[in-house]
Structure formats: structure tokens, C-alpha cells
Amino acid sequence: MQKTIYVDSILVNAEWKAQQVMIVENGTISDIVDAAKFATGNEMTANSKDLASKVNVDERIEGTVIPGYVDTQVNGGGGVMFNHAPTLESVNTIANAHARFGTTSLFPTLITDDFATISSAADAISQAIRLNHPSIMGVHFEGPHLSVAKKGVHKAAHIRSISDEELAVYTRKDIGQVIVTVAPENVSPEVIQALVSENVVVALGHSNAPYEVVQRALDAGATGFTHLFNAMSPLTSREPGMVGAALLSDAICGLIVDHQHLHKKSAELACKVKSEKGIMLVTDAMAHVGGKQDTVAFFDTEITRTSTRTGEKLTTPDGTLAGSCLDMHSALRHCVNDLGITLKSASVMASTTASCFTCTQRNIGQLVPGTAANFVVLDDKLNLKAVWQRGLNIHNND
């Protein structure tokens, strides 16, 4: 089924184009053409004031169109934590909650847990993939192969080395693209090489490793860092640590721009050093996103949402940061409004870079022929007007 959509302004291959017609076939972009050419069949220039109303299309969109957001770190949403209910129903709830905020592709994230939960999570993702769920690209296992010293809110009792059983889960071929976050002091370069050889994306994080150990993991095939600056060995005068290795490397770094996890200038520094191609925005979202609860159970404790001078944050009773209540659209707005980043660059970090990190750029993360017709519509104040997924308008804020 073909659908034609007129757009005022659209980001195509990281370039702005005005007055375009997107041609969608069965949820996939088949072409994006100049509206004047589409209307006349040649290169004649049409009156810009009349073109939007005169071009014969199925849909007309007023506003700015950018790719739908891609989030590689989503622990929960809609009142549900993936760890607590690793089921297809939970996957649907989480995906729907985040879609309201423009996330059209995501990787449900399982934090450190026991093997039974890991296995159940993989089964849930397998079901979603088999059903061709439009939002689910794969799964992110953030742990349990981390450093106790940098565990954050991860349960120390579950942190461990990789077993053969766990390797078998991570290399399953029915669960989409797999991301595994590991601490390089807990996982050898040989294991990283083995994972990468099976097309698993390996990220480094929750680690107290020195620079040299981190570098060996990068040499073994790790290609990313999980929430840069947070829960990792810092950059100091005589020890670059994981932060230094991340900033110096070509690896892609996840960044939580909620103004709780990072000082604004730290986030700005990372974006300047790494550029839009080296930073992907992530939420590290918990059940609170798209949910009404302020307090949610979390293993043997709870996570509570509170308001601060710089926004909302999530903490455990002892004050430890516990993920975020950030959505991807808010992350993009923070980048533009507070960090001085252009909308184009922020959009790349919110979609394209993540798709490159996860090797899914042929399908998502950009608006070019052959990719899914996943996009968001913004007004001139960066308010989210609408969300489209596979050529269908799934959410409106008008």
C-alpha cells in the first residue's frame, strides 16, 4: 500500500530539505522528492505559498520532521520494569509508553539479575521479534558482568562472570540485535572477541578499570560505552580511566542528558569532543516514564521520583541515582535549549548514531529510501506535535 506525505521541512541524510513529498510503501520510505517536481513531474519551481495546498498527496504535515528516536537503554516505562515482568505484555507496555514521546525504536534493557530472568527476558524479546513488533529492535543486557565497585543500583549479589549458559543466551539468533554491557575487569578480551564474532554489540560500563584494561577491551571489539561519566572510572591527572578512554576512542558513547546524571558542561564537553557521530542520547528510563507512579518497587528497595531545581530525578531511599524518568524528546530539547546544540546534531544523536551503533541504520534512525517511515513532527518551539511509525500516525499532541 502506497501513501504520499507532504512535509514542510524534513531532515534527510543530516541535511534540511524544504517542501518535500515522502512516498511510503508498506511502512517503508521508497523515495523523498521535491514537492514541486512531484506536483509537476519536472523541475519547475512552484509558488511556495501555494505548493502545500496544491500538491496532490494523501497527507499534509505542517512542522519540522526528524527521524523517530532510537533508545538503546530502556529499563521500563508505563509503570512496568522489564526486570520485574520480563514478558511480551511488558515489552508492549514499555514500547507504547515511550512511543508517546517519539521513541519509535528501542532496546528493552535488563539490568543485573539472575539467569532465569535473563532467559525469560530473551524469550519475551523473541516473541516480539517473531510478531514483527514495530518498536523492538533487540535487547540490551546491562550486566550482570559488571564491577561491584561501580555497580550503582545493580544488586551486588547478582554480579558475576559470564557463564556458558549466559553466552548461549546472548548469541541467540531469534532476539534481534543484542547489546551487552560489561566491565572489562570482569570479562576477558577473549570473551569480548567471542561475543563480537557472533554479532553481539559489546559496550563497556559500570567499571572501575584503568585505561589500559579498557583499551584492551576496545581492541577486542567493544564499540561503545554505557552512560558516559556515570558508574565508570574517572579521568584524572595521572589515570585517564574509562572516561578518558571513551573520549579518546572512536567508540560511541551513550549520554543521559537529564541534568541529574551530568553537569550541563560535562554533557557539553562530551558532545564537543565526540561530535554528533560519537554520542547517542539514551534515557536509562525506569517504569516512571509514561506512568503515574512516583514510587516503584525495585528488587528489595524502591525508586522514588522527586522534583529538583534542575528537573525530576529518581533515587533509592539512600539517595543513589536509580535510572531516570527521562524521555527521548526531553533529552533532545535539553540538548538544543540548554547545551546550545543544533536541532540537526541533536536529532542525529537521538536517532542516527544509535542506529549506527546497533548496526540497524539500514532500517531505522534516518529518513532515506529503504528505511522505516518512523518520524516525529515538531513545531517551531520544539514541542512534539505527532509521532509516526511505519507510515502510520500513532500519536498526536494537537
Range of the domain at 27: 2-66+369-396
In a domain, 190, yes or no: yes
Phi, psi for residue 276 in degrees, rounded to 5: -65, -20
Which cell numbers hold the place of 373?
Answer: 517511515
> Residue 43: what pLDDT?
45
Which cell numbers hold the place of 321?
Answer: 541515582
Is residue 227 part of an annotated ligand binding site?
yes
In a domain, 217, yes or no: yes
In a domain, 364, yes or no: no
In a domain, 363, yes or no: no
Is residue 206 part of an annotated ligand binding site?
yes
Q: 353 by DSSP, 3-state: which?
A: helix
Residue type (1 letter), 86: P
Is residue 238 part of an annotated ligand binding site?
yes
Q: How far is CA 344 from the centre of its chain?
A: 17
Does the pLDDT of residue 48 top 60, yes or no? Answer: no
Query: Which residues, at least 6 apart from 311, have a Cβ–Cβ distance to it below 8 Å?
Result: 258, 259, 260
What is the CATH classification number for the domain harbouring 244?
3.20.20.140
> Residue 39: what pLDDT?
76
Measured CA angle at 217 (ends 214, 242), to 5 deg: 20
> Residue 42: what pLDDT?
47
Total-model pTM: 0.96
Count of structural domains within the chain: 2
Q: How confident is the model at residue 296 (pLDDT cuts 50, 70, 90)?
A: very high
Q: Does residue 91 contact residue 133 with C-beta atoms inside 8 Å?
A: yes
Separation CA 60–CA 41 (nearest Å): 19
- Candidates 392, 383, 391, 398; CA nearest to 101 is 383
| 166 lies in the same domain as 35 | no
Is residue 230 part of an annotated ligand binding site?
yes
> Residue 50: what pLDDT?
64
Over residues 365-387, the mean pLDDT reads 98
What is the CATH classification number for the domain harbouring 384?
2.30.40.10
In a domain, 354, yes or no: yes
* Exposed / middle / buried, residue 33 (Cβ in 10 Å: 0-12, 13-18, 19+): middle
> Residue 49: what pLDDT?
56
Over residues 52-61, the mean pLDDT reads 86
327 is catalytic: no
In a domain, 311, yes or no: yes
pLDDT tens digit sequence for 86-108: 999 999 999 999 999 999 999 99
Q: How confident is the model at residue 38 (pLDDT cuts 50, 70, 90)?
A: confident
| 180 lies in the same domain as 274 | yes
| 94 lies in the same domain as 59 | no
Is residue 281 part of an annotated ligand binding site?
no
Does the pLDDT of residue 53 top 90, yes or no? Answer: no
Helices (H), the chain: 35-40, 48-54, 88-99, 115-130, 164-170, 189-197, 211-219, 241-248, 264-274, 328-339, 343-347, 353-357
Is residue 259 part of an annotated ligand binding site?
no
In a domain, 348, yes or no: yes
pLDDT tens digit sequence for 59-76: 999 999 999 999 999 999
pLDDT tens digit sequence for 305-356: 999 998 999 999 999 999 999 999 999 999 999 999 999 999 999 999 999 9
Is residue 153 part of an annotated ligand binding site?
yes
| 377 lies in the same domain as 333 | no
| 93 lies in the same domain as 228 | yes
Over residues 36-53, the mean pLDDT reads 63
Is residue 13 part of an annotated ligand binding site?
no
In a domain, 266, yes or no: yes
Average pLDDT value over all residues in the chain: 96
Catalytic residue among 71, 284, 379, 398: 284
> Residue 44: what pLDDT?
44
| 252 lies in the same domain as 381 | no
Is residue 321 part of an annotated ligand binding site?
yes
